[in-house]
Every structure is written in C-alpha cells, then in structure tokens.
Amino acid sequence: MARADLRVINARVVTPSGTIFGGVGVADGEIAAVGVDASLPDADREIDAEGNYLVPGFIDPHVHWGLSRYEYDYHEGLEHDFETETRGAVHGGVTCVVNFLLQPEPYLPDMDFFKRAGEENSYVDFAYHAIVHQEHHIEEIEELAEEGVRSFKTFFNWYKYASPELGIDHFDAGDVYRVLDKVSRINDGVVMFHAENEDLAQVRREELQEEGRNDLEAWGESSPNVGEAMQIEQIARLTEYTDSRAYIVHMSTGEGVDTVERFREKGIDIRAETLPAFLGHTNAETELGTWGKISPPIRGERSRKRLWEGLRTGVIEYVGTDHCPHKIEFKEKGEGKHGDIWEAIPGDNNGVEYLLPVMMHEGVNRNRLPIERVVEVCSTNNAKRWGLYPRKGAIAEGSDADMAIVDLEKSAVVDDDFYHTMEPGYSTFHGDELTGLPTHTIVAGEVVVEDGELQVDPGGRNYLPRYESGVPTR
Ligand SMILES: [Zn+2]
C-alpha cells in the first residue's frame, strides 16, 4: 500500500457501517484507508488517539456569517466572520459549514464575492443557503441552483412587523406557495422555514410588556409553542400541495415534534433541525438573562425532553446552531446581561464552537444518545441533506479527511478563554462545565488544531456547489 501523509491509530472510529477499533490513513487530503491499525499504511506523521473516538468532522448547517456587518462594513462582515468564526469552528471539531446568504439586493451578481470571501478567509470548506425575502430573490432561484445554491429559506409570517431597517421582508402563503413550487422542480432543492407566528407574537409581546414582565420566560411566552405548531402545520400542508421538500430550522417545541411526526407518517417530505441551546437549556434558567434571548425562544422542560426524544426516534434528523456573530455590546444594547429583554438582540453566539462539546456532554455522556447517532445528526445527515455526502460526513475511503478526535472525559468550563471567535465573551453555555471535547481537528488531512493550539493560517478552502450529489436525498 502506498505511503500515507498521516495516520491516526488506536481510535474508536465511527464509520457509516459501525464503530471499529483501529484508525485511518490519509493521503492527498482524502481518507485512503480505514481499518485495524495493522492494516493501515505507513505514514509521514502518526497520531495515537489513545483509545478516544475518531469522528467525521461536524457540519454546522445553520450559521450566519456576515451578521457582524452591523458592526463592520456591509460586505466586509462576511470576510471578517469567515475568518473569526471558522477559527472557532475548528477549535470545536466543526470542519464544514453551510452559511445563510442574507441581503436585500439580488444574490447572483455577488456570487463571485461570496465564494471568494470564504475561499480566502475560511478555515473550513463551506456551502450556502440563500434567504429568499424579496420578489427578485424568487426570480433568482433557478440561476442560484445553477451556482450550487439549492436551499432557500423564507420567513413565512415572521418579521411581518419588523422595522424596515432590518431589511427583511416576510412572506405570506402565496409567496411560500410559489417558492415551494419552484424549488420542487430543482434536484435536491429544499425550502427552509423559520416557524413562528408574528401576528400572535405581536399581541402577546404587548400584553407581557403591559404586565411589566422583563424575564426570559416572558420572552418564551411572547412567541408561544402553539405558534410554532401552527406554522409547521401550514408549511406541511403547502409542502404536500406542491409535492415539494421542506426543512424546519431551529425547531424548539414538543408541539413541533408532534406536528412534524404526524406529517412524516403521511409521507410528506418535511424535515426538522434543532439547536444545542434548546437541548441544553430551559427558559426557567433566568440567570441566562438577555444572553438566553434567541428566536424562537428557549422553551420549558417538556419541550426539551420531547426534542431529545425526537432525535432518538428519528423525527428530528439534524442539529445546527444558528450561530449569530455579534459583539456583546451589540447583543445587550449596552444594558448588560440583565437589561431589557425586549430590546436585546435575539440570537446565540459561538454555537459553531460549542456544538460538538454540548452534544457530547448533554447527549453522549448523559446517555441520551449514542455517539453514533450524534455523529449522524451533526455530520452525516447534514452532509446528505445539503448534497455534500459522501465527500463530507463520513469516515470512509475517498471521503475528504475532515475529522475530529474526541476525548469523552476531557472537561472545560466555558469561560472567556473557551472560545476562539470574534466575541468569546458570551453564549448560552457560559459558566457551564462541558465534558467531551475534541483534542485534534483535521481538515483535508491537515491537523489544524491540536490540544487547543491553532496550527494553520486561514484560506485555501473550497466553496462546495451543491450540484447533483449522486445520492438520493428524498
Ligand atoms: Zn438562523
């Protein structure tokens, strides 16, 4: 067997056909061999995993690089965030991201910039979803698909009363029908939905503010669980009507799980993603303050339990983070962690870096999910859904050598030194001790982080156009 560039030995390797004891050989950035140590080729460099797990690098399908444009210049925000936030990603064992394009202008004229911004500044390969919120965005869908963007997120009702400076317009049932119908004709096309009901939330917000409420539970009550279920109900019916494919981003409620399950049983292609923040927290944790303000809100214990159950039974197939990079002053509007819950900016920071540790800590180490299922929902399924499999999401011969070694007993407290992003100073997991951390992150066969130390410079990564993946995803 030809000599390899790198081999990892003495690992529990999580492969698509089961977990084996052994390792991998890597050549030219790809996995060249998987098997027991004695079967692996000689290599220029060897890492002894010391019996720890070797998993495919996690894929975060839900990040918002470019949001720091509110703190930087419009287009520079994207380049900035690719460098700072994917630096955090590799420290956390995430080796690929799918980022949401968001701007009021058409996307197509800027596609070269979007590709270059990542290729020159990212530590990991990346793909794109586009947020379709203007009439001209609907008209771009087919051409965006040719550019390899095949997933289109809409705000169905949500942001109906948003201030104009946000620059996002909501869609009604007619717009959503047109998007679902168009996308149903694109191979691997998927329509993604934020599922909250703003008509309901608008009234509840007013009521709660009149009562003088200013706490995390009030933020949850302002967009009640039933609103998510109502929206998913409509999305599922429109998906059935158009014979299309839908994906609920950041599903937060038990009612959502029940609704998706019911329509999945009818054979409708509606998929669901949830977030570590919903799996790790409840809104009874008032000490989270404005740091716990995300949209949709963190829910109660019943929902949290039902989300874990949904991951176990298969109703929820994907975990992403909805990582929103903002400086703490911007998030808190200068009022501190326990300032005005209504005025603070919604969104959690640093998800891309806490994804793997939280899923190991809350999922594997607390016996809620086996590590193989965690790998599926955080890596393999994300690669499949977004047309990246088997190049990504698997430890198998021919796949990109994107991997992490995970020590399930290694612990750290999430403090200001834990993260490596633009703003390490806050997240919903601040102050928590997490057990189950990556010791090495490998991207394209190169060790990029070893024992917390960054080994490489950013850039030289690939935009992943989602042409026909060759793998049926529906
Ligand atoms: Zn999001």
Q: What is the pLDDT along the chain (474 residues), one digit of tens a residue?
A: 689 999 999 999 999 999 999 999 999 999 999 999 999 999 999 999 999 999 999 999 999 999 887 777 778 899 999 999 999 999 999 999 999 999 999 999 999 999 999 999 999 999 999 999 999 999 999 999 999 999 999 999 888 887 666 678 889 999 999 999 999 999 889 999 999 999 999 999 999 999 999 999 999 999 999 999 999 999 999 999 999 999 999 999 999 999 999 999 999 999 999 999 999 999 999 999 999 999 999 999 999 999 999 999 999 999 999 999 999 999 999 899 999 999 999 999 999 999 999 999 999 999 999 999 999 999 999 999 999 999 999 999 999 999 999 999 999 999 999 999 999 999 999 999 999 999 999 999 999 999 999 999 999 999 999 875 544 343
Look at the domain 57-385 and name its fold. TIM Barrel (3.20.20)
User: What is the Å distance from ligand 1's center to 379 Cα?
Assistant: 18
User: What is the Å distance from ligand 1's center to 6 Cα?
Assistant: 36
User: What is the Å distance from ligand 1's center to 252 Cα?
Assistant: 13
User: What is the Å distance from ligand 1's center to 248 Cα?
Assistant: 11
What tokens does 95 get? 């080796």
User: What is the Å distance from ligand 1's center to 150 Cα?
Assistant: 17
User: What is the Å distance from ligand 1's center to 61 Cα?
Assistant: 10
Say which residues have a Cβ less than 8 Å from residue 192's Cβ, sequence separation at least 6: 129, 151, 152, 153, 154, 246, 247, 248, 249
User: What is the Å distance from ligand 1's center to 464 Cα?
Assistant: 20
- Tokens 């060249």 belong to residue: 32
Model pTM score: 0.97
Q: Which CATH class is domain 4-55+398-454?
A: mainly beta
What tokens does 71 get? 């703190």
Contact 201, 222 (CB under 8 A): yes
User: What is the Å distance from ligand 1's center to 81 Cα?
Assistant: 15
- Tokens 């039933």 belong to residue: 226
User: What is the Å distance from ligand 1's center to 314 Cα?
Assistant: 22
For residues 49 and 405, what is the distance between their CA atoms, to the nearest angstrom? 7
| Nearest CA among 408, 414, 324, 399 for reference residue 369 | 408
User: What is the Å distance from ligand 1's center to 292 Cα?
Assistant: 15
User: What is the Å distance from ligand 1's center to 247 Cα?
Assistant: 13
Residue boundaries of the structural domains of the chain: 4-55+398-454, 57-385
